[in-house]
Amino acid sequence: MNEPQVEEVVKILAGAGRVAVLTGAGISAESGVPTFRGKDGLWKQYKPETLATPEAFERDPKLVWEWYDWRRGLIAPVEPNAGHRTIAGWESLFGEMAVITQNVDGLHAKAGSRDVIELHGNIWKMRCTREGTVEEVKATPLPRIPPVCPNCGSLFRPHIVWFGESLDPVVLDRAYGLSESCQVMFVIGTSAIVQPAASLPYAAARAGAKIIEVNLEPTPLSPHATFFFQGKAGEILPLLDRQLRKRTRP
Ligand code: APR
């Protein structure tokens, strides 16, 4: 690791009160959750237009649910990794700290993070297509595919933002608010191409925040980041954490 860069980042973090962390699929990769665009990524194996769009669900809700049931089965047994745990531990280190995630796996909350903004929804939640009510259902495999609303009998759909759909405006507003008020924004394990999430670091930078990117490889954001750490989040974050705690320990 680039020691002088680590030193500089730790100095900045030691003086930071408001920190935001934007994460993508890469933070969960070391827990065994497939990413989307990586070597064995989901979108290398499956066509998003046949599984993750409102049209696909309209066409074949059973197929779409079989795929989500499979993904739920993959995610259910995995544990948060050192990257998730480090971020959860930072909540007590910084005055204001929030996690803004594109991930639907729920691993930040499982690691103990209390303030998590889920931009793209949550794979453990489903929504009634008629009443709009949202329910958390953890059963894997699902007892019935496609699942239906116990109240009105209509189809449930995954409570996930699909391609071509807008994010919940309340959720997005909060994400922008945090991005524009933070002093430091970490951007971890995202290819930084999917909008509107990919715009958040630029909003933060425009508002004066330092951008610290952690990724296995450079992304379109890297030339604009204040610091870029190339490597695994589960290795780099604990290292930064150790240096930071060494510096801030009374
Ligand atoms: N540590 C750090 N970065 C990693 C690691 C790791 N261990 N493993 C992979 N990465 C990086 C990859 O290099 C890549 O840049 O994580 C990124 C994952 O990118 P994507 O697979 O594109 O996932 P993400 O950016 O979260 O996708 C955004 O697209 O498909 C939609 O809604 C879906 O939320 C998702 C959105």
| Ligand 1 pocket member 38 (CB < 6 A) | yes
Q: Is the pLDDT of residue 103 over 70?
A: yes
Residue nearest to atom 5 of ligand 1 (CA): 26
Mean pLDDT of the chain, nearest integer: 95
Ligand 1 center–CA 181 separation, angstroms: 25
Contacts of 239 (CB under 8 A, 6+ apart): 1, 6
Residue nearest to atom 25 of ligand 1 (CA): 190
Residue nearest to atom 36 of ligand 1 (CA): 194
Ligand 1 center–CA 194 separation, angstroms: 10
Task: State the closest ligand 1 atom to the C-alpha of 30, by its place in the atom list counted from 1.
Answer: 7
Pocket test for ligand 1, best of 40, 160, 190 (most atoms within 8 A of CB): 190
Integer angstrom CA distances of residue 76 from 110, 111, 138, 208: 11, 14, 8, 39
Residue nearest to atom 7 of ligand 1 (CA): 232
* String of DSSP letters for 132-176: --EEE---SS-SSSS-B-TTT-PBEEEEEPPTT-PPPHHHHHHHH
| Ligand 1 pocket member 230 (CB < 6 A) | no
The pTM of this model reads 0.96
| Ligand 1 pocket member 34 (CB < 6 A) | no
Encode pLDDT of 112-152 as tens digits.
999 999 999 999 999 999 999 999 999 999 999 999 999 99
| Ligand 1 pocket member 224 (CB < 6 A) | no
Encode pLDDT of 164-221 as tens digits.
999 999 999 999 999 999 999 999 999 999 999 999 999 999 999 999 999 999 999 9
Residue nearest to atom 28 of ligand 1 (CA): 194
User: Would you state the pLDDT for residue 43?
Assistant: 79
User: Would you state the pLDDT for residue 249?
Assistant: 67
| Ligand 1 pocket member 36 (CB < 6 A) | yes
- Both structure tokens of 148: 């239906």
What 3-state class would DSSP assign to 229? strand
Task: State the closest ligand 1 atom to the C-alpha of 119, by its place in the atom list counted from 1.
Answer: 34
Could you confirm whether 120 is annotated as catalytic?
A: yes
Burial status of residue 211 (CB atoms within 10 A of its CB: 0-12, 13-18, 19 or more): buried
| Ligand 1 pocket member 233 (CB < 6 A) | yes
Encode pLDDT of 229-245 as tens digits.
999 999 999 999 999 99
Q: Is the pLDDT of residue 250 over 70?
A: no
Encode pLDDT of 43-92 as tens digits.
777 788 889 999 999 999 999 999 999 999 999 999 999 999 999 999 99
Q: Torsions phi, psi of 161, nearest 5?
A: -80, 120
